[in-house]
């Protein structure tokens, strides 16, 4: 195993963080594509996903974690149905490895540049744009850090499909809230972001 040099972004200034988020977005843009089959949770033996379709995986994810948010009054049944309809209409994408847990503590920097991305245990296979949605959902929908990551992504992958991105962000936030609830962590900030994000879907 190779040692990755650098320090977590949590220890760095805002200026350096933005530069590293820009670098991270660029790396995500470069990762698009790969020699993967299928989508969703990674089957380590087959080195492929466990779903034949990306949309089907995302809908099953929303079914699994979104129902609790409905029963708790965070989301309405109508909002979740609308999200699932949008997910069902997504075009086919080339399967790409997705980190799915991007956050400052999983990004290392050295010399003001991205030097490593840690903690791939939650990786899935799907649309590489999903990881940009993870960064935006985690950093804040309109934050300068999220904007820097987006610029980096666009610099490598070209323009961002905003319609898809707007569908992915609520899925990320549903998963984030479910994780935080299981751990007993506060999630009100993410619930507010989820309501803003899900209401962007038309």
Q: What is the pLDDT of residues 70-125, one digit of tens each?
A: 999 999 999 999 999 999 999 988 898 999 999 988 999 998 889 989 998 889 99
Rounded Cα gap, residues 148 and 24, in angstroms: 9
Q: How confident is residue 66, by pLDDT bands cut at 50, 70 and 90? A: very high
Query: How confident is the model over 113-168, as pLDDT tens digits?
Result: 899 899 988 899 999 999 999 999 999 988 999 999 999 999 988 889 999 999 99
As a whole number of angstroms, the distance between CA 22 and CA 24 comes to 5
CATH superfamily of 7-198: Aminoglycoside phosphotransferase (APH), C-terminal lobe (3.90.1200.10)
Domain locations in the chain?
7-198
Looking at residue 141, its pLDDT comes to 86
Cα–Cα distance for residue pair 64/175, rounded to 1 Å: 9
**How large a percentage of the chain has pLDDT more than 70?**
98
Give pTM, 2 decimals.
Answer: 0.91
**CA–CA separation, 131 vs 169, rounded Å?**
10
The reported pLDDT for the residue numbered 2 is 64
96: three-class secondary structure by DSSP: strand
172: region left, alpha or beta (phi > 0 left; psi from -120 to 50 alpha): alpha
pLDDT on residue 177 = 97
Query: In this predicted structure, what is the pLDDT of residue 70?
Result: 94
Regarding predicted confidence, which is higher, 3 or 98? 98
pLDDT class for 68, splitting at 50, 70, 90?
very high
């Amino acid at each position: 195993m190779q040692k990755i040099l650098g320090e977590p972004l949590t220890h760095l200034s805002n200026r350096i963080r933005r530069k590293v988020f820009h670098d991270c977005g660029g790396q995500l843009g470069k990762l698009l594509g790969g020699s993967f089959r299928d989508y969703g949770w990674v089957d380590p033996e087959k080195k492929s996903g466990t779903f034949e379709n990306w949309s089907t995986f995302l809908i099953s994810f929303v079914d699994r974690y979104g129902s609790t948010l409905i029963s708790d009054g965070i989301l309405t049944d109508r909002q979740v149905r609308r999200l699932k309809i949008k997910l069902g209409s997504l075009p086919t994408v080339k399967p790409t490895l997705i980190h799915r847990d991007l956050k400052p503590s999983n990004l290392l920097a050295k010399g003001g540049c991205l030097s490593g991305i840690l903690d791939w245990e939650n990786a899935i296979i799907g649309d590489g744009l999903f990881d940009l949605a993870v960064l935006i959902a985690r950093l804040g929908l309109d934050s300068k850090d999220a904007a820097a990551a987006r610029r980096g992504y666009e610099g490598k992958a070209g323009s961002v499909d905003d319609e898809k991105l707007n569908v992915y962000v609520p899925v990320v936030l549903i998963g984030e809230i479910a994780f935080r609830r299981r751990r007993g962590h506060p999630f009100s900030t993410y619930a507010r972001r989820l309501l803003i994000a899900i209401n962007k879907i038309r």
